[in-house]
Structure 1
Amino acid sequence: MESCTWFCVAAAAVYTFTLLRKLGLGFDAGFWPMAIVGASLGFIISPGFCGLVLLSCSLSLVWNTESRRRRELLPTESRAVLITGCDSGFGHALAKLLSEMGVKVFAGVLDVNGAGAQQLRERGSENLQVLQLDVTDGSQIETAHRYICTQVGDAGLWGLVNNAGLLHCPVDAELHPISVYRRCMEVNFLAAVSMCQVFLPLLRRSKGRIVNMCSLAGEVPMPTYAAYGASKAALSIFSKVMRLELSVWGVKVAVIQPTGFRTNIFGNSDDLSHYRDEILSGISPEAREDYGETYISSLLDRLSTMSNQMTEDLSPVVDDMRHALLSVRPRQVYTPGQLGWLLPFLHRWCPTTTFDSIIMSVLKYTGCEPAGLQRN
């Protein structure tokens, strides 16, 4: 009897995890309340029966969700999508995937002569066009807009994916020069606002989609991510306001909040050297003394370590981006990756002191202490 009880407890844990993970993915609203009632009755009758019911419900949730995601995609013919930041990473992978599906893709790149742009051109796909598009350059945005207008005609533009982004280097908020905050806001937030304003007439014409690449750091406070997180938080609330305002036009807005995936947003060795010089030249003498160059340099070394620890499989994010663009019933927020749903859940429901302890234990940098703390 005791083993049956523990089996039921374990099955309940699996079911609870599955339910929380799948909420909002489009399964029937009445399914899980009925499953809970059925499982409760099963526990009264027999713990073993209860466990079987809960495991069956978990499998049904997974099957129902994934099968509906596959079935409900819209036809791709005569649909055109503009994606920013296609030099590498998520944008690069999405451009290839959508063009293979038959979507006409305008892939905006920061460097039209770069390796990423060349790889896209070498695919030789009629559905894939590479455009020079620095999202912080108004003239390049207007040039891209004029060209796309000539290509889509009366059908309009079906999708805009604001994927281009800048991370800089995760360091304590006090150490970021104001120029870094401005640059993150310009690339991660203001550029997306500008893209939406310019291309919305084309999106209204098709009653299409806007997909904005946000971040878990924009919803959950994370140590050393002040500049990046603030810019993504601004983009997140902007997206949610736009979702409300554009609903009357039939335009849907979705937010993607990925966790840790390895892309070129982490930069290279030259970028790290530039970050170090920029930080050390921008901080006050007092901050330089309190933190110490050893601590600051160790944070920069941590960036390359973090990149190596991230998963290289971008498919969870790219699949969610595709779903947001082509699903009959897209979700408002997608959270691909490990802890993508858990940390926001804890942030929303845990007492502040409890969440602070959790997030600091998970993300606090312990490789080296600031010089001032060592003296104390």
Structure 2
Amino acid sequence: MCHSNVRKCLAKNLSTELQRERMDTYISTADPSVLLCLGMTAAFGIITFYKAKKNQVEKRCISARGLLLLFLLEILCFVMLKSYIGLILFSMACLICNIYLSVQTMLPVDNKAVLITGSDSGFGHALAKYLDNLGFVVFAGVLNKNGSGAEELKRSCSQRLCVLQMDITSSAQIKEAYLKISEMVQNTGLWGVVNNAGILGFPADGELLPMSVYKQCMDVNFFGHVETTKMFLPLLRKSKGRLINISSMAGGIPMTRFAAYGASKAALSMFSGVMRQELAKWGIKVAAVHPAGFKTCIQGTSELWAKQEKHLLENLTPDVKKDYGEDYIEALKNFLLHMPVHSEPDLSPVLDDVLHALLAKSPHGLYTPGKSAYLTLCIFCYFPLWLYDLYIGKLQSNKSVPSALRASEAKNKNT
């Protein structure tokens, strides 16, 4: 028993000595590569923190992401059997990180002029205040120049901000806004156009929605933005500025009850993609923003819901009304009631992404601010559709069932 313990102790000590010898041999043979890797790590770490500190506007995750990538590839470097292969990988990581950090470099504000449509409330209203506070010259297009939202902007913002009457479904108002802005910016041009104005409509099954809802959503959420973009592109060309279209998560993925709204936002997203490719030769950068659920005024008021529900019922054929049942349509209002409950009150993720799209030297083509926005898009793009349908069905669970289906289920149970 004693001899056995002695043998185990000797073997353990021998093993430890061998490991030490191997480590010493590895360090001595790979000494130049190891020192070079460590030197690059230190240098790049200093550069990372310097850029993150210098870039105060875009601070989120710059150093964290850069150093995390460094750390992971540092491990790869030393785990590789041949140290020079690890060094190559590590050098590539440094290059990628430097490219990433250069993307985050922000331009100065320097009184850049930006047009924001739909500034009466919601994202547009908050963005107008946010950019004005940062020193931008803001042209806030509103649906009602004498409304409470416009008055709030006049009262709370600086004298740089200019409120413009701009219903984007009116060609005359778009042209009038263009003439006023072009007169004010003159040769400097307009740095940014943020197409934000939008309507939701009454969320309901696509079969239930009247054609007037589809047309209205397309007029406001798509055609209005296209006409605004076409009108102001000459001013953007002068400054080699930015075009930013506020789409929606529903514009990138199919979501039940959003047939009209989602289709109009999907059209806007596709328009953004095409414009990004076509306007690159002019030096204009284009971005689409797909926010998740945020608490804005887009869902409207209870009075508006009642009016839209009445309009919906009046346009249904007798067969469709019978199959769905008025109780099913009545229950759709519960979805509207619960929207604010499941929406984020803090709009800062959207505001920060729009600011990045305006000022980053190399902005992203797509931004997905908000919880689950990017995750849901990834599930839709990379997983089987049945899994996505299951996932979105859980998110938008609705216990209400059309009348005809309830009757069919009851009949099957009785037979």
Short-chain TM bin: 0.7 to 0.9
**Correspondence for 1:289:** 322
**Correspondence for 2:194:** 161
Q: In the TM superposition, what are the counterparts of 1:171-190 in structure 2 within 5 Å?
A: 171-190=204-223
Determine whether 1:215 maps to 2:280: no
Determine whether 1:236 maps to 2:249: no
In the TM superposition, what is the alpha-carbon distance from 1:28 to its structure 2 partner?
A: 12
Matched pairs, number: 333
Could you tell me which amino acid in structure 1 is paired with residue 305 of structure 2? L
- Compared with structure 1, are the counterparts of its residues 354 and 43 closer, same or farther at alpha carbon in structure 2 (3 Å cutoff)? farther
Separation of aligned partners in 1, 2:167 and 2:159: 23
Check whether the contact 1:136–1:191 (CA below 8 A) recurs between aligned residues: yes
In the TM superposition, what is the alpha-carbon distance from 1:308 to its structure 2 partner?
A: 2.9
CA RMSD of aligned residues (A): 2.6
**Correspondence for 1:265:** 298
**Correspondence for 1:375:** 407
Give runs of ≥4 in structure 1 deviating > 3 Å: 25-45
In the TM superposition, what is the alpha-carbon distance from 1:39 to its structure 2 partner?
A: 4.9
**Identical aligned pairs, as a percentage?**
44
In the TM superposition, what is the alpha-carbon distance from 1:72 to its structure 2 partner?
A: 2.4
In the TM superposition, what is the alpha-carbon distance from 1:199 to its structure 2 partner?
A: 0.2
- Compared with structure 1, are the counterparts of its residues 31 and 242 closer, same or farther at alpha carbon in structure 2 (3 Å cutoff)? farther
- Compared with structure 1, are the counterparts of its residues 40 and 373 closer, same or farther at alpha carbon in structure 2 (3 Å cutoff)? farther
Determine whether 1:315 maps to 2:342: no
Give the match's secondary structure for 1:131: strand
Partner residue of 2:231 out of 198, 203, 208? 198
- Compared with structure 1, are the counterparts of its residues 124 and 163 closer, same or farther at alpha carbon in structure 2 (3 Å cutoff)? closer
Check whether the contact 1:266–1:304 (CA below 8 A) recurs between aligned residues: no
Check whether the contact 1:223–1:364 (CA below 8 A) recurs between aligned residues: no
Separation of aligned partners in 2, 1:119 and 1:251: 32
Could you tell me which amino acid in structure 1 is paired with residue 223 of structure 2? L
- Compared with structure 1, are the counterparts of its residues 77 and 40 closer, same or farther at alpha carbon in structure 2 (3 Å cutoff)? closer
**Correspondence for 2:377:** 344
**Correspondence for 2:9:** none
Separation of aligned partners in 2, 1:30 and 1:290: 57
In the TM superposition, what is the alpha-carbon distance from 1:301 to its structure 2 partner?
A: 2.8
Check whether the contact 1:87–1:114 (CA below 8 A) recurs between aligned residues: yes
In the TM superposition, what is the alpha-carbon distance from 1:329 to its structure 2 partner?
A: 1.9
Structure 1 stretches of 5 or more lacking a match? Answer: 1-24, 46-56
Partner residue of 1:136 out of 155, 161, 169? 169
Separation of aligned partners in 1, 2:176 and 2:108: 29
Separation of aligned partners in 2, 1:26 and 1:313: 22
What do residues 33-74 of structure 1 show as CA deviations (whole Å, max 9, x unaligned)?
A: 7655555688999xxxxxxxxxxx9xxx9xx98x978x7221
**Correspondence for 2:386:** 353
Partner residue of 1:97 out of 117, 130, 154? 130
**Correspondence for 1:9:** none
**Correspondence for 1:119:** 152
Structure 2 stretches of 5 or more lacking a match? Answer: 1-60, 82-92, 409-415
Q: TM-score, normalised by structure 2?
A: 0.75
Separation of aligned partners in 1, 2:339 and 2:116: 26
Could you tell me which amino acid in structure 1 is paired with residue 220 of structure 2? V
Separation of aligned partners in 2, 1:180 and 1:42: 61
What do residues 151-172 of structure 1 show as CA deviations (whole Å, max 9, x unaligned)?
A: 0010000000000001012111
Q: TM-score, normalised by structure 1?
A: 0.83
Give 1 or 2 for the bigger CA radius of gyration: 2
Separation of aligned partners in 2, 1:268 and 1:314: 20
Separation of aligned partners in 2, 1:248 and 1:327: 18
